[in-house]
Structure 1
Amino acid sequence: MTDRAFATRAIHAGQAPDPVTGAIIPPIYQSSTHVQDGIGGFRGGYEYNRAGNPTRSSLEAQLAALEGGASALSFASGLAAEDALLRGILRPGDHVILGNDVYGGTHRLLTQVLAPWGVETTMVDLQDLDAIRAARRPRTKVVWLETPSNPLLTIVDIAAVAEVAHAAGAVLVVDNTFASPALQQPLSLGADIVVHSTTKYLGGHSDVLGGAVVLGDDRFAEAVKFQQFAVGAVSAPLDAWLTTRGIKTLAVRVRQHSENAQAIAEWAVQRPEFETVFYPGLASHPGHEIAARQMNGFGGMLSLGLTAGPSAARAFAEATTLFQLADSLGGVKSLIGYPPEMTHASVRGTALAVPENAVRLSVGIEDVSDLIADLEEGLARIAAS
């Protein structure tokens, strides 16, 4: 399947018709346990749902094919995936270099959950390769980056950071949630491991929670698999099936997300109400050239800095109709959020704090003329208030 185009892999990888009935879509194996043919005689290797489930196996094969990985593991959430990965490859006293513009939940996991366990974290601007080199320590084991980042759409050169990380004997982990494998495959650029919140673009319909770890090789496969089995934060069969269904339309959905977001970004830069438009598809974005080189499109996420300041940003987030006020992203419906008090509230007052005048848009696949009209109506409402 690796020789097939991305859209073909998204539909067919791990999705063979049911061999018994011929059902074109593999069934949901909604079972907690599996009958054994004698003690230890596992059919297909399946014993108990925490250890493995055929529906989850189908999703994991699909995920590995999309990212070009050796294997993948599916979890109950993105943070569950990150936790299992980090506990699998780190030990007390190890050191992580973390981008200074990452998802607040990742920052919280490392600095509040894993720090008491003895993991140390240094935050740096990963666009600055010298800063990464300066932050290296003898026990630096992981460099962790997001690109595009959440929520300021910072673009980091994956290949360049991979070279620096590997020179330090560290592995490079890339959170590919914002781009999705439809737009970017970090393993092909030198990353070692990819993580996803499959809740977002991979699921794509705001109806499932999940996470994934995709491993470029087998070095850490057993360690992360053990964490998954021992702790048990696995995706349930129905959640896995919903994610496989979402992935089948990923290629066409992401094209429309990207087209709509580009149009909205180009509209927004003409509006005096926005002092900043964070979108890598704009030639004015500082990471535009790198994004154009390492991505197949610029994605459906953008953030806007309101000229009138924080109060205007809060009001604007509450003033739209089609853009519905909610956490999360990557679904077919457009969402708007105020990161300082929503997705990134946990990092207020830290180096990861989001500008107080910023709103984040997850641009859906509705008609873009309706979306722009909705934003214009929102601006008119706050101007009139």
Structure 2
Amino acid sequence: MTETSRRNRQPGLSTRAIHLGYDPATENGALTPPIYMTSTYAFETAEQGSELFRGERKGYIYGRTKNPTQTILEERIASLEGGETAIALGSGMAAISGTMLSLLDAGDEVVIDHTLYGNAYAYFTQALPRWGISVKLADFTRPETLEAALGPKTKLVYFETPANPNLRVIDIAAVAAIAHAHGAEVVVDNTFATPILQRPLEHGADIVLHSATKYIGGHGDVLAGLVVGRAETLQKVRQTGLRWVTGATLSPFNCFLLLRGLKTLELRVERHSSSAMKVARLLEGHAKVASVSYPGLESFAEHEIAKRQMSGFGGLISFELDGGMAEGMALMNRLELVTRAVSLGDAETLIQHPASMTHAIYSAEEREKHGISDGLLRLSVGLENVDDILDDLERALDSL
């Protein structure tokens, strides 16, 4: 790299996550951005207040829609994802509902992939239809089924990749091309990959969502959601989904926690990914394990797609034992270091049983149809020394 190109290139992901949008000199030299614990903001003049309410002046009015600590967070995540702007909300589900209720009207249609986080699946299949919004399901790993599901009323398509809980990977560019040809916009949940490993907007998606509770927070101590996309679209989400419909404001302190998490996100995701690869190899080679689903394995069905659109494979693994659900439950109870808990992306390694926990909202028939078997376990590989994780899993497996 020449000196000129080095000067002109965009700073790296970690550099932007640590520095973007903040100058200590403007805040009395404070290295860490301050937490603005205020619900309302004073106007210098009555005219200034009127201009703010009319959108003729930039600034802050009331804490439900915007806060200076929140602004720094939103600028940083928008930059990392390659979007024009972002919105922070109170949870991942608030990010989903706030977006959908801002962009969809009664009579519109949304097409979703059939494998989603359990509460997201319930929201789409049980809540949205109550408000006159039609919801269709398709298998997005088979583009022809998406093509068949799209119609003149389809406004959005929505999916996760990798998907929760079985980690199936969907070709973002292929879905975007089909959806856009039908006049629909593409919304992708990028929680599992984070912008460190995958940036869906670069592959044609229009909106990216995160449960920032997971990897972006990274410490299991915050609930939050993020939406990234075009400024015009997200202004609708801020004014409608956040301000009027949900009121799901993210507190300034939780914005501070996410800013803390962003600073180490690249380092943590690299460690999660490298450890998960070793754990996946162990599981794949163990006699008690019937199947392993991890995008980094050559045996993974969508391995080539994952290599094409991801720069790494993440910290989530799904697997099933020969003894099915009974043996899976027994394994969970014999683990000592690995913690039995839902959620993911924390420093701790977590294991859970989707059929009876995060995806219990699916009927047994739906789980079978959508590849969520009763024996499936989901493992979120943490930041402990990987040899300790491997030892705990191997000991528990050998004892079955």
Say yes or no: does 1:336 pair with 2:351.
yes
Match of 1:282 in 2: 297
Range 123-132 or range 37-46, more displaced: 37-46
**d(CA) in 1 for partners of 2:216, 2:234:** 22
Shift of 1:348: 3.1
Match of 2:156 in 1: 142
Q: How many residues align?
A: 381
**1:88-147 C-alpha deviation (Å, 9 max, x unpaired):** 110111111111111111111111211100111111110111111111111001111111
Match of 1:218 in 2: 231
Match of 2:36 in 1: 29
**d(CA) in 1 for partners of 2:28, 2:93:** 37
**Which of 310, 314, 324 is 1:295 aligned to?**
310
The AA in structure 2 aligned to 1:13 is: L
**d(CA) in 2 for partners of 1:159, 1:109:** 25
**d(CA) in 1 for partners of 2:251, 2:27:** 23
Q: Is the partner of 2:159 in helix, strand or coil?
A: strand
Say yes or no: does 1:10 pair with 2:17.
yes
Match of 2:396 in 1: 378
Match of 1:362 in 2: 380
Q: Is the partner of 2:135 in helix, strand or coil?
A: strand
Q: Which has the higher helix share?
A: 2
Range 233-242 or range 97-106, more displaced: 97-106
Match of 1:249 in 2: 264
Tell me if the contact between 1:324 and 1:335 (Cα under 8 Å) persists in the aligned partners: yes
**1:179-212 C-alpha deviation (Å, 9 max, x unpaired):** 0000000001100000000000101111111001
The AA in structure 1 aligned to 2:376 is: A
**Which of 134, 142, 145 is 1:120 aligned to?**
134
Matches within 5 A, 1:8-87: 8-17=15-24, 19-39=26-46, 41=48, 45-87=59-101
Match of 2:143 in 1: 129
Shift of 1:219: 3.8
Match of 2:251 in 1: 236
The AA in structure 2 aligned to 1:90 is: L
Shift of 1:2: 8.4
**1:138-170 C-alpha deviation (Å, 9 max, x unpaired):** 100111111111110101110111000100100
Shift of 1:18: 5.2
Match of 2:329 in 1: 314
Tell me if the contact between 1:2 and 1:65 (Cα under 8 Å) persists in the aligned partners: no
Cα distance change on mapping 1:352 and 1:166 into 2, 3 Å: farther
Tell me if the contact between 1:204 and 1:246 (Cα under 8 Å) persists in the aligned partners: yes
**d(CA) in 2 for partners of 1:136, 1:241:** 41
**1:343-381 C-alpha deviation (Å, 9 max, x unpaired):** 111113253452111111000111111001111222244
Structure 1 segments of 4 or more deviating over 6 A?
Answer: none
Shift of 1:295: 0.4
Range 90-99 or range 176-185, more displaced: 90-99
Shift of 1:40: 5.4
**1:41-85 C-alpha deviation (Å, 9 max, x unpaired):** 359611211021111111111110110101100000000010010
Cα distance change on mapping 1:350 and 1:29 into 2, 3 Å: farther
Shift of 1:225: 1.1
Match of 1:98 in 2: 112
**Which of 261, 275, 281 is 1:260 aligned to?**
275
**d(CA) in 1 for partners of 2:275, 2:180:** 37
**d(CA) in 2 for partners of 1:314, 1:29:** 46
**d(CA) in 1 for partners of 2:148, 2:343:** 34
Cα distance change on mapping 1:46 and 1:350 into 2, 3 Å: farther
Q: Is the partner of 2:351 in helix, strand or coil?
A: strand
**Which of 340, 346, 355 is 1:325 aligned to?**
340
Cα distance change on mapping 1:9 and 1:169 into 2, 3 Å: same
Tell me if the contact between 1:100 and 1:352 (Cα under 8 Å) persists in the aligned partners: no
Tell me if the contact between 2:367 and 2:373 (Cα under 8 Å) persists in the aligned partners: no
Question: What residue ranges of structure 1 are gaps of 5+ in the alignment?
Answer: none
Identity, in percent, stands at 42
Cα distance change on mapping 1:184 and 1:40 into 2, 3 Å: farther
**d(CA) in 2 for partners of 1:40, 1:306:** 68
**d(CA) in 2 for partners of 1:278, 1:4:** 34
The AA in structure 2 aligned to 1:307 is: D
Q: Is the partner of 2:198 in helix, strand or coil?
A: coil
**d(CA) in 2 for partners of 1:73, 1:126:** 27
**Which of 203, 219, 222 is 1:208 aligned to?**
222
Tell me if the contact between 1:193 and 1:214 (Cα under 8 Å) persists in the aligned partners: yes
The AA in structure 1 aligned to 2:310 is: M
Match of 1:195 in 2: 209
Shift of 1:244: 0.7
**d(CA) in 2 for partners of 1:115, 1:109:** 9
Question: What residue ranges of structure 2 are gaps of 5+ in the alignment?
Answer: 1-7, 53-57
**1:229-252 C-alpha deviation (Å, 9 max, x unpaired):** 113101100001100110110001
Tell me if the contact between 2:214 and 2:344 (Cα under 8 Å) persists in the aligned partners: yes
Range 91-100 or range 37-46, more displaced: 37-46
**1:255-275 C-alpha deviation (Å, 9 max, x unpaired):** 000000000000111111111
**d(CA) in 2 for partners of 1:379, 1:348:** 29
